[in-house]
Amino acid sequence: MGLPLSKTTLFTEDQIHKRVSELARDIDADHRIDEPLHVVVALKGSFVFAADLIRAMRTPLTLDFIAIGSYADGTTAGEIQLQKDLDSSIEGRPVLIVEDIVDTGRTLRYLQDLLRARSPKSLRTVCLTTKPSRRAVEVTVEYVGFEVGDHFIVGYGLDHGERYRHLAHITTIEETREPRR
């Protein structure tokens, strides 16, 4: 793993705040107020986004967490596995997956297939960021916050080797010693 060399802010705290509010409005518009939406937060990267998103939403909701591991060394690589399952059943319930980033799409695809097999009433996905140019498998995302190019980004929950999750903004991070791939 190379050392971080330079960082460039991609999205400021204000820009993120504004976009998260818009996503919350879009989600509210698509969901009923007489039936709790079951929000499934994909750990760990999505926890900051989810915390802001749910507080901007008006739809009544319940919350659960799931952890899908897709990398061991700070980049996207290797086997995808379920690290922490949901606490409760989603059968017959309207479900919203909250994801931080869609890169190749493999992690989200795995998660969507896993949850769809449990027969939710509906299954939608909100993703804070997406990198369309990196897509290897097809995934459907109903609500997208920001599109980004082929950069590795950190902050607002996103990490590089577990660092930088606490940053209030989103920044690219460039490495020198080894190219990412």
Active site residues: 103
- CA-nearest of 178, 155, 126, 177 to 16 is 155
Which residues, listed in sequence order, are joined to residue 42 by a DSSP beta bridge? 66
Sole binder of ligand IMP in the list 107, 112, 125, 171 (CB under 6 A): 107
Sole binder of ligand IMP in the list 101, 123, 126, 128 (CB under 6 A): 101
Write the CB contacts of 25 (distance below 8 Å, at least 6 apart in sequence): 56
Per-residue x/- track, 110-139, ligand IMP (CB under 6 A): ------------------------------
Q: Residue 45 interacts with Mg ion (CB under 5 A)?
A: yes
The answer to whether the beta carbons of residues 96 and 111 sit under 8 Å apart is no
Cα 83 to Cα 36, 65, 66, 80, distances in angstroms = 26, 11, 8, 9
User: What is the enclosing helix (H) or strand (E) of 112?
Assistant: helix 106-116
Q: Which of ligand IMP, Mg ion, none lies near 157, with the C-beta cut-off 5 to 8 A by kind?
A: none
Residues, the chain, total?
181
Interface of this chain with ligand IMP, residues 35 to 74, rule: CB under 6 A: 45, 70-71
In the bound state with ligand IMP, the residue whose beta carbon lies nearer, of 54 and 98, is 98
CA angle 174, 164, 70 (to 5 degrees): 80
Nearest-approach distance from CB 33 to ligand IMP, in angstroms: 31
Q: Which of Mg ion, ligand IMP, none lies near 57, with the C-beta cut-off 5 to 8 A by kind?
A: none
Stretch that binds ligand IMP, among 4-12, 47-55, 112-120, 146-154 (CB under 6 A): 146-154
Task: Please state, in angstroms and rounded to a whole number, the distance separating the CA atoms of residues 70 and 99.
Answer: 13
Cα 122 to Cα 10, 76, 94, 115, 155, distances in angstroms = 33, 28, 5, 10, 30
Stretch that binds ligand IMP, among 16-24, 25-33, 96-104, 111-119 (CB under 6 A): 96-104
Cβ-proximal residue to Mg ion, closest one: 45
Sole binder of ligand IMP in the list 158, 167, 170, 171 (CB under 6 A): 158
Residue ranges binding Mg ion (CB under 5 A): 45
